[in-house]
Structure 1
């Protein structure tokens, strides 16, 4: 039995911790009281004010046991993502992330169960001064991207089967490994409120299937995988927050186009069109004038969001063979955030 000594965070409740661990509040409290000592006993339905730590058993969950799942098909992928910020035609920031994933699939009735393991993660950043922050992000990605899940009919993550395991790994990271990361310690000393928010948001993400599923769905590897496994060819809509402007939501209508269909290979293209009627242009202009015009000097031109994905699947297995992505959010000629992504299947 592995005992976890969990440091209670702001916003935690017995209910939120029990939900994250996939157990009842009663079992959580009983186990804690059996292992905490007399002065730290929980009496009632709330966490005592003086209590700093909660004890529970790692990996105990009432959800589906992963060990009972026999995955039938596997594939390995390498991905490369390049992000560039261009200001007045000149690159001001760039990052490159190379990843390797192992994908396992099991057919369960009419649904697929996917298991994804992040096997390698390498990034490079310009300017180099930002690299320590991205090293912290890397550690979170390594926790997050070892996940078992199902998807719904909209091409979104439906349920995360190993949520309890991921929650344990997150808690272990916060309570132990984070203290070995210089950037984390520096931020904790210089801006403790930022680290506190970071922990609160992480607790929320790793305790809730919907929250974690939404975060994973923004990862382009998952995004392509989920959309490629949709059972229909209907158009769909994606909604996301603008990367340029705070509190601006972008709605993009996506059409699925058949490019080619050969003997055992089919290629599709996803083309997105921004619903400009759902965007408050006056608010965007105001934000541009406040945030960017003092730096760029040029006046607002035209706002747009461009979304293009092309992917090829093997008809017999349904596995992706390759994919390319081009996404751009821009104030034309003035400020652009560009993402290029490539995926290719490699040998197991």
Structure 2
């Protein structure tokens, strides 16, 4: 433990210093009194007028500054996501991504401003030949970092406060960083139209907060965070693009129930049911016959989308303790994309 000697400035109070450090006034006072020594002043409920220095623990500050906004660090999470593609009952592709996020919050009237920092990102891919492409994806995730945002009553990102900073990071990536990535340069030489589309989509995403908010909302950490911070307990609907079939939109009605409420924690479950009436089954069958049946051989069976999320909230603070998600899109027994996601809170 390292003790630092903080010089008291004009206007400082115990309340202001404790808030800046992200600790209680009691802990601040106790630490100073335990470490000030015999020749220094012990303090009580206020700062003595003649006191010049306050003794603080180095590194104890729970504050973080992002985009010139001072946030209080609230929670750190480690996440693991596993994606598998199963064809005719046999896995043909798998990926595992481990991430670590720091969530910070600033109270603004009755609403919250959130800041999410991606602190770590590790992935592994099978088959290994696809690893270069996923390394490019990782670089884009690092551009979508230190995002400062608010959310609306629909559990969507409402505004991205530092959009211009993220846009500058994207421009820097395209103009500079991308030239250091072998896969990017290979694709630029081999399929320039693909890279042109990639850049155009990125320009669109990083210049429009609605577009960027929608992309972030597909990230399961953000997705669950937004749902967990929803103030009401109403059921809701999610709409998204099918992973299996181009230009097919999936509408899923999600019901929210309380699984348990014990002590200082409440566990919720989100269960989604695909609105099959909104899906053009004839179009799906046609696409299946064109895209998958020549490889799988078996005829179309039944299409479904399964959405299950469980998360536990600490009642006192409102922050997540843990969460799991299981999401599957399938043509039953023929072709499936399966996503398993786990989140756990760790010490700051």
Category of TM-score, reference length = shorter chain: 0.7 to 0.9
Two-structure CA RMSD over aligned residues (Å) = 15.6
Contact 2:64/2:73, CA 8 A, preserved across alignment: no
Query: Structure 1: which 5+ runs fail to align?
Result: none
Structure 1 residue 262: Cα displacement: 1.2
Residues 89 and 168 of structure 1: CA distance in aligned 2, closer, same or farther (over 3 Å): same
Contact 1:22/1:164, CA 8 A, preserved across alignment: no
Bigger mean CA offset, 130-139 vs 2-11: 2-11
Contact 1:296/1:334, CA 8 A, preserved across alignment: yes
CA distance in 2, matches of 1:193, 1:8: 60
Structure 1 residue 72: Cα displacement: 2.9
* Structure 1 residue matching 2:44: 3-state secondary structure: coil
TM-score by length of 1: 0.81
Contact 1:7/1:175, CA 8 A, preserved across alignment: no
CA distance in 2, matches of 1:32, 1:309: 45
Deviations 1:190-238 (A, max 9, x none): 1111111111110110000000000000000000000000010000000
Query: Structure 2: which 5+ runs fail to align?
Result: none
CA distance in 1, matches of 2:31, 2:16: 16
Residues 146 and 286 of structure 1: CA distance in aligned 2, closer, same or farther (over 3 Å): same
* Structure 2 residue matching 1:71: 3-state secondary structure: strand
Residues 203 and 127 of structure 1: CA distance in aligned 2, closer, same or farther (over 3 Å): same
- Which residue number corresponds to residue 184 of structure 1? 184
Contact 1:312/1:320, CA 8 A, preserved across alignment: yes
Residues 293 and 67 of structure 1: CA distance in aligned 2, closer, same or farther (over 3 Å): closer
Bigger mean CA offset, 104-113 vs 333-342: 104-113
Bigger mean CA offset, 303-312 vs 71-80: 71-80
Alignment: residue pair count: 348
CA distance in 2, matches of 1:341, 1:72: 27
* Structure 2 residue matching 1:196: 3-state secondary structure: helix
Residue 94 of structure 2 is aligned to residue 94 of structure 1 = yes
Residues 111 and 282 of structure 1: CA distance in aligned 2, closer, same or farther (over 3 Å): same
Contact 1:14/1:46, CA 8 A, preserved across alignment: yes
Contact 2:308/2:326, CA 8 A, preserved across alignment: yes
Residues 295 and 256 of structure 1: CA distance in aligned 2, closer, same or farther (over 3 Å): same
Residues 295 and 265 of structure 1: CA distance in aligned 2, closer, same or farther (over 3 Å): same
- Which residue number corresponds to residue 69 of structure 2? 69
Tell which has more relative contact order, 1 or 2 (C-alpha 8 A, sep 6+). Answer: 1
Structure 1 residue 74: Cα displacement: 1.4
Contact 1:274/1:304, CA 8 A, preserved across alignment: yes
CA distance in 1, matches of 2:42, 2:246: 42
* Structure 2 residue matching 1:83: 3-state secondary structure: strand
Residues 156 and 54 of structure 1: CA distance in aligned 2, closer, same or farther (over 3 Å): farther
TM-score by length of 2: 0.81
Contact 1:21/1:167, CA 8 A, preserved across alignment: no
